[in-house]
Chains A and B, each alone.
Chain A
Amino acid sequence: QLLLFRFTVKRPFSTSHSSVDSKEMKKFQLLAHKWWDEEGEYAALHSMNDIRVPFIRDTLLSMSSNYHLGNPLSGIKILDVGCGGGLLCEPLGRLGASVTGIDPVEDNIRTADRHKSSDPVLAKRIQYKCSSLEEIVEESVETFDVIVASEVVEHVADLETFIKCCSQVLKPEGSLFITTINKTQLSYVLGIVVAEKIMGIVPEGTHEWEKFVPPEELEHLLESNGFSVKMVTGMLYNPLSGSWSWMESTSLNYAVHAVKSGAQAQAHATDTPPETDIQQRSATAGTAG
């Protein structure tokens, strides 16, 4: 029994077969208590809500036919991967969604849990879990309507694994929203030199230019892993006003909306999930010859 207990204790650092980079985790651990200071280190992420929440909200509203007055995202299950202190989970929760926020840094989850606890509505609608994406895949196959990975993919160790896992936990025709930073000369100058070293918009060392992801690469990975990319738009941060806006060019920050393909053999498996694999295998077996 003791053995069992030891193995089920969550370890803050995941290692192999993981998209989580342990060096990245250490960086965020140091700033865990700063998440909810709107004027602090995470100010730019707070103001990013002004464009990313409407983006997610309006995209989902345009795809659905029912509208619940006062709770536009009611009935939608969202997974926020790399949720940090819950900055994006809370607005989505207020709009009616059932949100699961996961983050590998224990302190982040603790901060997020504490912040939502004083609001009974949010406390019910949002669940936080200290976990990497891979760790929840098994118990969450095709569980979520929407996955949000905002300012996360530039920190993961293996992007393709990450995308594959997203696909596994997403329902067919489910939406994936990603915001991240492009890998260009401009993003090096503005995103690293200016933002981190000169103006202190982002804590120094937060980003590594090598891990920035060009939209073409992201699109390619998405399309080859069962996603259909619906929209790619650029984002621009104005450090003087502290606000974000949309722009055509994706040379700095950008956002992507992709939809997991619903067609394929998965169309058969609507009733009994456990038998899905067997049906799929027999279907392919039949046509293989």
Chain B
Amino acid sequence: RAAASAPPLYDVVVSGGGMVGSAMAAVLGHDIHFHDKKIALLEAGPRKDYDHMPDSYSNRVSSISPGSATLLSSCGAWDHVCSLRLKAFRRMQVWDACSEAMIVFEKDDLDDMGYIVENDVIMSALTKQLDAVADRVEVFYRSKAVGYSWPLPSHSCDTSPWVQIELADGRRLQTKLLIGADGHNSVVRKEAEIKNIEHQYDQSAVVATLHLSEATDNNVAWQRFLPTGPIALLPLSDTASSLVWSTSHDHASELLAMDEESFVDSINSAFWSNINHSDFIDTAGAMFRSAISLLKPSGTAVRQLPPSVAKVDPESRAMFPLGMGHATEYVQHRVALIGDAAHRVHPLAGQGVNLGFGDIACLAHHLSAAAFNGSDLGSLKHLLKFETERQRHNVSLIAATDVLKRLYSTTLAPLVLLRTWGLQATNALPPVKVRI
């Protein structure tokens, strides 16, 4: 009866075609239990041409954990990433500007700790893998969703049991499950009236592509906590690194406005200067360090020196505001949130996109099992399992990141001492380091 005028019905619609949304669609599209299902991916922007990667590096990069690499492998995207470009790093050195305290992360078995990959490279790989399953996954470009209507959990015969989606151009879709991957200002989350705990940091991140003074193995990720915020240098190649400098909005604007030479000087000074050290802290730190080396000789690692920067890629400087957010619910009947729509973190831990990929791995696992059981994909029963697992994992990490951010935003001696000793102690304790 209603078939003629009813909008097309999909099994899953993913709203948001960024890295997380595209990966969600690609992973489901490659799942054997979704072989005959219909999936749609809605992206507000146009389809980008990723076939020709420019020689210069993009200034938006992500630190990809081995777990995320495994997820991207599962849908065949990691091979494409490897054939384009990425930089593996073996070591991460994190230290304080106000003291000598330092922590080094390193895997004993010479495996890669993580990979620095340009976001465009990931998108290129995912787009290729989406094309490969075009019979199952329909990608709608230039298709912004402007309205959603939700079904009641137990419907009557005159209302549809599916989620209704209205696009900006008036087209309509129906779906059994809507996945919101539309970023920290998620429309899906707002329309579903899911409360979001959010906080704007008074910080912006400045990103840029930098060229090093001299070629080096460059397989270490560097991060120094300055009183104004952490500055990180992420390796892109033997001669280039990506900058992520979180600092006050004013300082960020200054950094963007200054000439290239001054910008480079600021970066080098941030990494090398000891201006924030106080004798008191230095002495206290040194005492603690000798105490540790008595108890645990291997507990103090060799301090490597970060590379110095020679120049910055013109046009590569940019800034964006930082904030923290966490949705109180990740799921509702026929709706699930993943990625930044569910949680937003400070870049200091390099975890942002990895949390999103972790969400995908968990949700895809539960949806795959549900499909193999013939279940209704939008059923809260398995969606709640996804929510419980991910909230348990994410909340502690987001809270810890937030605490670290606040702890490191000060020069007050007691707090510096606390974090100095804390960092040194953590560096000396293998079990804690492994957890991180």
Contact = CB atoms under 8 A, between A and B. Distances in A.
A279 B379 CA distance: 53
Interface residues of B, number: 23
A15 to B, nearest CB: 32
Given A70-B36, A96-B36, 4 more contacts: A37-B154, A69-B36, A94-B375, A118-B162
B386 to A, nearest CB: 16
Interface of A: 36-38, 40, 47, 49-50, 53-54, 57, 69-72, 90-96, 114, 118-120
B69 interface: no
Contacts of A40: 154
Contact of A120 (B9, B32, B33, B373): B9
A49 B382 CA distance: 13
B375 A91 contact: yes
A119 B3 CA distance: 10
A118 B154 CA distance: 13
Nearest to B375: A91
B149 interface: no
Contacts of B37: 70
Contacts, number: 52
B321 interface: no
Contact of A70 (B33, B160, B161, B379): B33
A57 B33 CA distance: 13
Contacts of A47: 381
A32 B429 CA distance: 63
Contacts of B32: 69-70
B374 interface: yes
Contacts of B157: 114
Given A114-B157, A118-B162, A53 B374 contact: yes
Interface of B: 3, 9, 32-37, 153-154, 157, 160-162, 371-376, 379-381
Contacts of A120: 3, 9
Nearest to B374: A91
B373 A50 contact: yes
A163 B40 CA distance: 46
Contact of A53 (B36, B153, B373): B373
B374 A38 contact: no
A83 to B, nearest CB: 15
Nearest to A67: B32
Contacts of A54: 373
Nearest first, the 8 A-B pairs at minimum CB distance are: A70-B35, A91-B374, A70-B36, A94-B374, A69-B35, A95-B374, A37-B154, A114-B157
Contacts of B379: 38
B9 A90 contact: no
